[in-house]
Amino acid sequence: MDLVADRTRTVNRLGAQLTGIFPGLERALDLTNKGPLTLLTGYQTPAAIRRLGARRLETWLRNRKVLRADQLAQAAVEAAERQHTSLPGVS
Protein backbone atom coordinates (compact mmCIF):
# COMPACT_ATOMS: atom_id res chain seq x y z
CA MET A 1 0.00 0.00 0.00
CA ASP A 2 2.86 2.37 0.79
CA LEU A 3 4.39 1.94 -2.67
CA VAL A 4 1.06 2.62 -4.35
CA ALA A 5 0.52 5.73 -2.25
CA ASP A 6 4.06 6.96 -2.99
CA ARG A 7 3.58 6.48 -6.73
CA THR A 8 0.24 8.29 -6.63
CA ARG A 9 1.78 11.23 -4.75
CA THR A 10 4.71 11.37 -7.16
CA VAL A 11 2.47 11.36 -10.25
CA ASN A 12 0.24 14.03 -8.70
CA ARG A 13 3.24 16.25 -7.89
CA LEU A 14 4.59 15.78 -11.41
CA GLY A 15 1.20 16.72 -12.85
CA ALA A 16 1.08 19.86 -10.69
CA GLN A 17 4.59 20.88 -11.81
CA LEU A 18 3.77 20.24 -15.44
CA THR A 19 0.57 22.29 -15.16
CA GLY A 20 2.66 25.28 -14.13
CA ILE A 21 5.11 24.92 -17.03
CA PHE A 22 3.22 23.24 -19.86
CA PRO A 23 -0.52 22.90 -19.11
CA GLY A 24 -1.40 21.73 -22.61
CA LEU A 25 0.90 18.74 -22.36
CA GLU A 26 -0.38 17.88 -18.90
CA ARG A 27 -3.93 17.76 -20.31
CA ALA A 28 -2.82 15.65 -23.30
CA LEU A 29 -0.89 13.02 -21.34
CA ASP A 30 -1.96 10.29 -18.95
CA LEU A 31 0.87 10.43 -16.44
CA THR A 32 -0.07 7.04 -15.01
CA ASN A 33 1.38 5.38 -18.13
CA LYS A 34 5.06 4.69 -18.77
CA GLY A 35 5.22 6.36 -22.22
CA PRO A 36 4.36 9.90 -21.09
CA LEU A 37 6.73 9.58 -18.14
CA THR A 38 9.50 8.50 -20.53
CA LEU A 39 8.75 11.52 -22.71
CA LEU A 40 9.10 13.83 -19.72
CA THR A 41 12.52 12.43 -18.86
CA GLY A 42 13.88 14.08 -21.99
CA TYR A 43 11.54 16.91 -22.94
CA GLN A 44 9.48 19.13 -20.64
CA THR A 45 8.95 22.44 -22.45
CA PRO A 46 6.90 23.39 -25.50
CA ALA A 47 9.89 24.99 -27.20
CA ALA A 48 11.99 21.83 -26.88
CA ILE A 49 9.22 19.65 -28.28
CA ARG A 50 8.52 22.08 -31.16
CA ARG A 51 12.24 22.16 -32.03
CA LEU A 52 12.40 18.37 -32.07
CA GLY A 53 9.29 17.80 -34.18
CA ALA A 54 6.97 14.81 -34.37
CA ARG A 55 9.21 12.51 -36.43
CA ARG A 56 12.34 12.89 -34.33
CA LEU A 57 10.32 12.70 -31.11
CA GLU A 58 8.68 9.50 -32.34
CA THR A 59 12.11 8.05 -33.13
CA TRP A 60 13.41 9.09 -29.70
CA LEU A 61 10.42 7.41 -28.04
CA ARG A 62 10.70 4.25 -30.16
CA ASN A 63 14.37 3.94 -29.19
CA ARG A 64 13.17 3.85 -25.58
CA LYS A 65 10.61 1.10 -26.35
CA VAL A 66 7.52 3.30 -25.82
CA LEU A 67 4.30 1.77 -27.12
CA ARG A 68 2.30 3.85 -29.61
CA ALA A 69 5.21 6.28 -29.89
CA ASP A 70 3.68 7.84 -33.01
CA GLN A 71 0.47 8.80 -31.19
CA LEU A 72 2.31 10.12 -28.15
CA ALA A 73 4.71 12.17 -30.27
CA GLN A 74 1.86 13.64 -32.29
CA ALA A 75 -0.11 14.57 -29.15
CA ALA A 76 2.95 16.20 -27.58
CA VAL A 77 3.79 18.23 -30.68
CA GLU A 78 0.17 19.36 -31.07
CA ALA A 79 0.12 20.49 -27.43
CA ALA A 80 3.43 22.32 -27.96
CA GLU A 81 2.09 24.07 -31.06
CA ARG A 82 -0.86 25.40 -29.05
CA GLN A 83 1.33 26.93 -26.32
CA HIS A 84 3.62 29.81 -27.17
CA THR A 85 3.86 31.63 -23.85
CA SER A 86 6.96 30.98 -21.81
CA LEU A 87 7.81 31.43 -18.18
CA PRO A 88 10.88 33.29 -16.92
CA GLY A 89 13.68 30.82 -16.32
CA VAL A 90 12.09 28.06 -18.43
CA SER A 91 13.50 27.59 -21.92
Burial of 69 (0-12, 13-18, 19+ CB in 10 A): buried
Q: How far is CA 25 from the centre of its chain?
A: 6
Largest distance between two CA atoms of the chain:
41
First and final C-alpha spacing in the chain:
38
CA distance 31 to 89: 24
The identity of residue 24, as a single letter, is G
Residue range 57-86, pLDDT digits in tens: 999 999 999 999 999 999 999 999 998 776
Residue range 5-35, pLDDT digits in tens: 998 999 999 999 988 888 999 999 999 999 9
The reported pTM is 0.82
SS3 52: helix
